[in-house]
């Protein structure tokens, strides 16, 4: 029989439901993988007992003939940005080290209610700020992937959901939660050969998710394939009156709606995404994607998203502006780290606490955000960036008059080695150039693995859809998945 | 224009005043959380996860606070903005867990309105004056720091943190302490009529930031203003203006200039002192709160707000002087406070019902009773007054006996005292306690005859033109009747007998 830990969400759920194996066996299998993979540094905290507890409940429910939830028997990894009741929640920061919430985020509650269990809290870039998972206070996550030809270089699993991408790619979890502010689900998914979707802004409640940039943050699933993402997104999503920006819409049954036949659908290819500096192998994968979608019956049309080049700069104004304000609450007064030098006052305490508690990248973004909101600069930066944001959204609206989904690369390059870009923040930011426009527009977007490059590293293709049309995105993703037949796996070295 | 002037060495100065009043919105729960707003709880007993700004917590707007702000706006005849938005005002302080206050800078919920302050010559307000109101916006209150709990540490109480405030910003239309005092009192009255704020200044439900500048009389330019923060009584608002205007005049005349700054008022020393100047003012980095959607008000909601408004002070005052034929003074007194007019109107209706007369006919009697007689008796009884006996029915019954001539004004007070202490029926008290006027002409006539017989010399003098002696005869007769004679009857009979 196949190793249980090679299975994804749908297969585990089916196996548990049919009695092929118990949920406890599944949880034990993944707990063992997690315990054996500390070299990857994917988890900040492991919670094997939580995984077992949830599994036992599912096994008992099954034995009692009770109906099982959509994630029944599936243990998952929880990005450590989601508050989990009684389990340390840090956002990979020193300032929240030791913080144990007395509440559970809506998304994680939804998952537990659907029968999922928690393997542990996944590492990430500190406060979700980063594209390589190198800004975590708890050390960087290491991708299970290596460059081919015996290279020993440690590769980045992407960021900020790097713990999530590594955990799924290395079979430490069949699926994991991610959050995506400017590509933090899609880019790590692309770097590690897995699938991840950021739904329409507002689909998943932000309640209980440590905020980075409120107008952009959106949770989503990261898993092996499109079906698993559809199942898990269905469990995560839903209207939440505790989040004023939550969408008050019914959650469609995306899994039931999966259909890789794209006959009658139009796929837009944005000409502005053919950027200088994009890896030729990425461009080649894009061509492959176009061919696959045509094969699936879609008509391919050339579209224009004229303001694309302004999206990244606008993002790096809006996101830090919101972050500078969202992170003001970490002040040493009520919870988390407090650094109170002998004889010091309130201002000294703020300064010492925040200096010690935040990493360099977080400080950089707080400073940028503070600057762009300052008197005299607000209009030049923030107001202007909001205008750009509106234009970027308008671009998509216009484009979607001519097509149903948009196909583009997820990233301009494949994964890079840890440390290769840490000295150049701008180069790092450029990694999100294809991901950020959909974030600014609040649109659903996913990354699907489409092959490996000449170095044996995975590549991803991105599908962007109309607002609320996760189904269209998932279906186009499925069409690619069915044709790309991505089966590459990282060689186990850890 | 008021005639308030500051006498300086170089001539006369006038003062220009604008007020920003922070009024706590009456609501069960806070502006963006479900924690209770009740005053007086144990420290930190009313703090939700949102109020404490725990990681990942999000604000959800309390619709009742919006409703109260809109109703308040309507009560000051203001523009209601169907589109408004919340902004974050960013600054660090230990009583502000989020590190920002959610407020409305760019798009407030209520735009321009106005408020009328009534002429009050004694106070130096020679005529009615309209004070412009620039805007009302809603925002969160902060928590409270306690510095007296520990030798080296400060404590934080977050009970008040997140409670909804309306900031009501006047235009710089006031030109004397009296006008500013009248403005605050009138605003308080309107808020209490509407029910959007309890107006309790001692508990901090209402406090004012007082903007003051001075200029030479006739100078069209405004002077540099200072802002004195968190002034919590009408008296202090007026004192701040007096002190601050005087200080500014002296400063300028001594060759200095006023610095735009924030000041604090010290009531013990009756002086203001500098808190921080413009140079070290915060840069609040306002920007739209991304956790909240813009607020769009629907017509049906606005209609509900409007139809829920009660009759407001100005309209009520006009009705009292017009329909009820009341004096300006009585009308102003009766309409100033919600409790007063409520008591008055209940008693008015009951008195009219018992008397079988239109309200207008008994209004003056009820007004006088409500404003002076009844409060005097209650006050003199002090703790002996049991206010549960103070029913409209009992009061109306007493008034009815007075207007029928059955009891005198003095007897009415005595009956009222007994009612308040014990709670018996007024008619029964009048009967059993002998508190009725004697209108029996025979008995009165007999006493008059005695008085006239005992004072032949005075009768003589009266008849030869000394009219003033009439009062003497009345007095003697009343005395003989132990004060229980109906004075009208006594007068009539005396006039007839004296010729």
For A300-326, the DSSP string reads: EEEE--TTHHHHHHHHHHHHHHHHHHH
Give the integer Cα–Cα distance in Å for A148 and B430: 112
Which residue is associated with the tokens 């009341």?
B326
Same domain for B92 and B37, yes or no, is yes
Among the partner-chain residues B55, B93, B291, the one whose CB lies closest to the CB of A89 is B55
Chain-chain contact of A244 with B61 (C-beta, under 8 angstroms): yes
Same domain for B270 and B380, yes or no, is no
**B281 touches A: beta carbon within 8 Å:** no
For residue A84, report the phi and psi dihedrals to the nearest 5 degrees: -125, 125
Residue A343: inside a domain, yes or no? no
Residue A259: inside a domain, yes or no? no
Considering its fold, how many domains does chain A have in total? 1
Residue B172: inside a domain, yes or no? yes
Interface of B with A in 293-312 (CB under 8 A): 293
- Please give the structure tokens belonging to residue B231: 């002034």
Of B277, B304, B331, which marks where a domain is finished? B304
Catalytic residues of A: 79, 160, 184
Same domain for B61 and B157, yes or no, is yes
**B146 touches A: beta carbon within 8 Å:** no
**A242 touches B: beta carbon within 8 Å:** yes
Q: Where are the alpha helices (DSSP H) in B11-62?
A: none
Chain-chain contact of A373 with B60 (C-beta, under 8 angstroms): no
Chain-chain contact of A373 with B287 (C-beta, under 8 angstroms): yes
Q: What is residue A279's predicted lDDT score, i.e. its pLDDT?
A: 87
* Burial state string for A192-223 with b = 16 or more CB within 10 A and e = fewer than 16: bbbbbbbbbbbbbbbbbbbbbbbbbbbbbbbb
What DSSP line would sit under B178-216, residue for residue? HHHHHHHHHHHHHHHHHTS----TTTTSEEEEEEEEEEE
Give the integer Cα–Cα distance in Å for B104 and B258: 29
Same domain for B242 and B350, yes or no, is no
Give the integer Cα–Cα distance in Å for A133 and A140: 5
Q: What is residue B2's predicted lDDT score, i.e. its pLDDT?
A: 75
Residue A179 bridge partners (DSSP) = A219
Same domain for B347 and B248, yes or no, is no
Residue B140: inside a domain, yes or no? yes
Of B432, B455, B479, which marks where a domain is finished? B432
Chain-chain contact of B291 with A245 (C-beta, under 8 angstroms): yes
Q: What is residue B403's predicted lDDT score, i.e. its pLDDT?
A: 86
- Enumerate residue ranges in chain B where pLDDT < 70: 1, 278-280, 438-439
Same domain for B157 and B43, yes or no, is yes
Whichever domain contains A243, its CATH number is: 3.90.1300.10
- Please give the structure tokens belonging to residue A378: 């607000």
Give the integer Cα–Cα distance in Å for A267 and A258: 17
Distances (CA, A) of A42 to A133, A287, A460: 10, 33, 21
For residue A4, give the nearest of A35, A28, A37 by alpha carbon: A28
Whichever domain contains B449, its CATH number is: 1.10.10.410
Secondary structure of residue B383 in the 3-state scheme: helix
For residue B468, report the phi and psi dihedrals to the nearest 5 degrees: -60, -25
Among the partner-chain residues B55, B97, B99, the one whose CB lies closest to the CB of A325 is B99
Give the integer Cα–Cα distance in Å for A325 and B290: 10
Q: What is residue B278's predicted lDDT score, i.e. its pLDDT?
A: 65
Same domain for B453 and B476, yes or no, is yes
Burial of A64 (0-12, 13-18, 19+ CB in 10 A): exposed
Residue A470: inside a domain, yes or no? no
Among the partner-chain residues A208, A335, A370, the one whose CB lies closest to the CB of B285 is A370
Among the partner-chain residues B98, B283, B293, the one whose CB lies closest to the CB of A374 is B283
Chain B nearest-CA distance from A58, in A, is: 29
- Tell me the per-residue pLDDT of B53-86, one tens digit each, with 9 for 90 and over: 999 999 999 999 999 999 999 999 999 999 999 9
Among the partner-chain residues A83, A213, A244, the one whose CB lies closest to the CB of B60 is A244
Burial of A169 (0-12, 13-18, 19+ CB in 10 A): buried
Contact residues, chain B, for A241 at CB < 8 Å: 60
**B99 touches A: beta carbon within 8 Å:** yes
Chain A nearest-CA distance from B252, in A, is: 30
Contact residues, chain A, for B290 at CB < 8 Å: 213-215, 245, 322
Distance of CA A196 to the CA centre of its chain: 7
Interface of A with B in 86-105 (CB under 8 A): 89, 91, 96, 99, 101-103, 105
Chain-chain contact of A214 with B98 (C-beta, under 8 angstroms): no
Chain-chain contact of A243 with B58 (C-beta, under 8 angstroms): yes
H or E element in which residue A462 lies: strand A458-465
Give the integer Cα–Cα distance in Å for A53 and A115: 11
Computed on alpha carbons and rounded to an integer, the radius of gyration of chain B in Å comes to 30
Contact residues, chain A, for B153 at CB < 8 Å: none
Chain-chain contact of A101 with B97 (C-beta, under 8 angstroms): no
Which residue is associated with the tokens 């001594």?
B254
Secondary structure of residue A189 in the 3-state scheme: helix
Same domain for B273 and B345, yes or no, is no
Residue A267: inside a domain, yes or no? no
Domain extent, residue B390, equals 313-432
Residue of A nearest to B99 (CA): A328
Residue A387: inside a domain, yes or no? no
Taking a C-beta distance cutoff of 8 angstroms, is the pair A122, A129 a contact? Answer: no
Interface of A with B in 54-83 (CB under 8 A): 82-83
Chain-chain contact of B98 with A328 (C-beta, under 8 angstroms): yes
**A377 touches B: beta carbon within 8 Å:** no
User: Count of CB contacts below 8 A, A vs B?
Assistant: 99
Secondary structure of residue B24 in the 3-state scheme: strand
Of B385, B409, B432, which marks where a domain is finished? B432
Residue A473: inside a domain, yes or no? no
Domain extent, residue A186, equals 4-254
Q: Where are the alpha helices (DSSP H) in A115-256?
A: 162-169, 186-192, 226-236
Residue of A nearest to B34 (CA): A242
Chain-chain contact of B98 with A329 (C-beta, under 8 angstroms): yes
Contact residues, chain B, for A206 at CB < 8 Å: 56, 58
- One pLDDT digit (tens) per residue for chain A, 494 residues: 569 999 999 999 999 999 999 999 999 999 999 999 999 999 999 999 999 999 999 999 999 999 999 999 999 999 999 999 999 999 999 999 999 999 999 999 999 999 999 999 999 999 999 999 999 999 999 999 999 988 899 999 999 999 999 999 999 999 999 999 999 999 999 999 999 999 999 999 999 999 999 999 999 999 999 999 999 999 999 999 999 999 999 999 999 999 999 999 999 999 999 988 788 999 999 999 999 999 999 999 999 999 999 999 999 999 999 999 999 999 999 999 999 988 889 999 999 999 999 999 999 999 999 999 999 999 999 999 999 999 999 999 999 999 999 999 999 999 999 998 888 888 888 889 999 999 999 999 999 999 999 999 999 999 999 999 999 999 999 999 999 999 999 999 99
Same domain for B107 and B147, yes or no, is yes
DSSP B310: -
Secondary structure of residue B65 in the 3-state scheme: helix
H or E element in which residue B135 lies: strand B129-140
- Please give the structure tokens belonging to residue B222: 């405004």
Q: What is residue B446's predicted lDDT score, i.e. its pLDDT?
A: 83
Residue B300's CB is within 10 A of a number of other CB atoms, namely 8
Considering its fold, how many domains does chain B have in total? 3
- Please give the structure tokens belonging to residue B136: 């009302």
Q: What is residue A212's predicted lDDT score, i.e. its pLDDT?
A: 98
Residue B475: inside a domain, yes or no? yes
Q: Where are the alpha helices (DSSP H) in B309-467?
A: 313-322, 328-336, 338-355, 359-368, 374-381, 392-403, 409-421, 426-432, 441-454, 456-463
**A370 touches B: beta carbon within 8 Å:** yes
Residue B1: inside a domain, yes or no? no
């Amino acid at each position: 029989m196949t190793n249980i830990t090679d299975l994804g969400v749908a297969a585990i759920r089916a196996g548990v439901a049919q009695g092929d194996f118990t949920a406890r066996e599944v949880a034990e299998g993944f707990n063992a993988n997690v315990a054996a993979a500390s070299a990857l540094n994917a988890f900040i905290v492991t919670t094997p007992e939580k995984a077992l507890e949830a599994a036992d409940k599912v096994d008992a429910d099954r034995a009692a003939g009770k109906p099982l939830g959509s994630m029944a028997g599936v243990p998952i990894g929880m990005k450590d940005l989601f508050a989990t009741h009684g389990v340390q929640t840090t956002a990979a920061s020193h300032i929240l080290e030791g913080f144990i919430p007395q509440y559970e985020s809506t998304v994680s509650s939804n998952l537990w209610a659907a029968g999922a269990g928690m393997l542990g809290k996944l590492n990430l870039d500190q406060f979700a700020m980063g594209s390589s998972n190198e800004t975590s206070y708890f050390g960087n996550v290491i991708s299970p992937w290596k460059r081919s030809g015996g290279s020993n270089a440690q590769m980045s699993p992407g960021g900020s959901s790097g713990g999530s991408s590594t955990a799924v790619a290395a079979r430490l979890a069949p699926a994991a939660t991610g959050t995506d502010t400017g590509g933090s689900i899609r880019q790590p998914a692309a770097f590690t050969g897995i699938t991840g979707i950021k739904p329409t802004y507002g689909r998943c409640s932000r309640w209980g998710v440590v905020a980075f940039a409120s107008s952009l943050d959106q949770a989503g699933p990261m898993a092996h394939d499109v079906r698993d993402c559809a199942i898990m997104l269905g469990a995560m999503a839903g209207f939440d009156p505790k989040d004023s920006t939550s969408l008050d819409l019914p959650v469609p049954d995306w899994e039931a709606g999966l259909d890789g036949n794209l006959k009658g659908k139009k796929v837009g290819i944005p000409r502005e995404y053919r950027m200088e500096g994009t890896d030729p192998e990425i461009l080649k994968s894009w061509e492959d994607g176009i061919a696959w979608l045509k094969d699936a019956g879609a008509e391919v049309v050339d579209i224009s998203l004229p303001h694309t080049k302004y999206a990244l700069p606008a993002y790096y104004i809006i996101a830090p502006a919101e972050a500078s304000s969202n992170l003001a609450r970490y002040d040493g007064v009520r919870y988390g780290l407090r650094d109170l030098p002998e004889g010091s006052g309130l201002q000294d305490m703020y300064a010492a606490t925040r200096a010690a508690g935040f990493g360099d990248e977080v400080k950089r973004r707080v400073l940028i955000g503070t600057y762009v909101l300052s008197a005299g600069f607000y209009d030049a930066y923030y107001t202007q960036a909001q205008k750009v944001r509106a234009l970027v959204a308008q671009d998509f609206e216009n484009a979607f008059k001519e097509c149903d989904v948009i196909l583009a690369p997820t990233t301009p390059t494949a994964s890079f080695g840890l440390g290769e870009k840490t000295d150049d923040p701008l180069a790092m930011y450029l990694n999100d150039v294809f991901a950020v426009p959909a974030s600014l527009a609040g649109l659903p977007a996913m990354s699907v693995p489409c092959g490996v490059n000449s170095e044996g590293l995975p590549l991803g293709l991105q599908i962007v859809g109309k607002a609320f049309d996760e189904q269209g995105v998932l279906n186009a993703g499925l069409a690619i998945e069915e044709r790309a037949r991505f089966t590459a796996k990282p060689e186990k070295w850890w | 224009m008021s005639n308030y002037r500051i006498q300086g060495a170089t001539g006369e100065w006038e003062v220009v005043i604008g007020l920003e009043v922070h009024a706590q919105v009456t609501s069960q729960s806070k502006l963006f959380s479900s924690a209770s707003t009740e005053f007086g709880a144990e420290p930190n007993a009313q703090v939700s996860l949102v109020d404490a700004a725990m990681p990942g917590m999000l604000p959800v707007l309390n619709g009742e606070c919006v409703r109260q702000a809109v109703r308040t706006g309507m009560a000051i005849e203001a523009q209601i903005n169907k589109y408004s938005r919340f902004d974050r005002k960013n600054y660090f302080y230990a009583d502000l867990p989020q590190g920002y206050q959610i407020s409305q800078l760019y798009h407030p919920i209520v735009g321009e309105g106005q408020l009328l302050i009534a002429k009050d010559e004694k106070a130096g307000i020679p005529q009615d004056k309209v004070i412009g109101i620039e805007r009302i916006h809603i925002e969160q209150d902060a928590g409270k720091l306690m510095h007296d709990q520990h030798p080296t540490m400060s404590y934080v109480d977050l009970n008040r943190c997140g409670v909804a405030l309306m900031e009501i910003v006047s235009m710089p239309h006031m030109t004397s302490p009296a006008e500013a005092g009248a403005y605050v009192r009138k605003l308080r009255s309107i808020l209490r009529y509407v029910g959007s704020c309890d107006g309790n200044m001692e508990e901090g439900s209402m406090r004012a930031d007082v903007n003051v500048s001075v200029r030479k009389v006739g100078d069209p330019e405004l002077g540099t203003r200072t802002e004195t923060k968190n002034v919590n009584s009408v008296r202090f608002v007026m004192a701040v203006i007096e002190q601050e205007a005087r200080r500014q005049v002296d400063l300028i005349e001594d060759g200095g200039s006023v610095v735009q700054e924030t000041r604090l008022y010290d009531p013990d020393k009756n002086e203001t002192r500098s808190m921080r100047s413009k140079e070290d003012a915060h840069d609040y980095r306002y920007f739209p709160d991304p956790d909240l959607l813009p607020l769009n008000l629907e017509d049906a909601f606005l209609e509900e707000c409007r139809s829920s408004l009660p009759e407001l002070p100005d309209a009520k005052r006009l009705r009292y002087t017009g329909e009820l034929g009341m004096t300006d003074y009585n009308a102003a007194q009766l309409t100033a406070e919600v409790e007063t007019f409520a008591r008055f109107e209940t008693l008015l209706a009951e008195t009219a019902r018992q008397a079988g007369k239109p309200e207008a006919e008994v209004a003056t009697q009820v007004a006088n009773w409500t404003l002076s007689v009844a409060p005097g008796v209650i006050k003199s009884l002090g703790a002996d007054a049991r206010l549960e006996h103070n029913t409209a029915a009992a009061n109306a019954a007493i008034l009815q006996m007075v207007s029928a001539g059955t009891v005198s004004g003095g007897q009415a007070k005595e009956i009222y005292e007994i009612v308040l202490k014990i709670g018996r029926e007024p008619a029964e008290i009048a009967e059993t306690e002998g508190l009725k006027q004697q209108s029996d002409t025979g008995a009165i006539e007999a006493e008059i005859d005695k008085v006239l017989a005992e004072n032949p010399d005075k009768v003589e003098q009266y008849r030869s033109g000394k009219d003033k002696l009439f009062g003497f005869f009345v007095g003697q007769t009343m005395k003989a009747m132990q004060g229980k004679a109906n004075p009208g009857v006594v007068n009539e009979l005396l006039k007839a007998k004296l010729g």
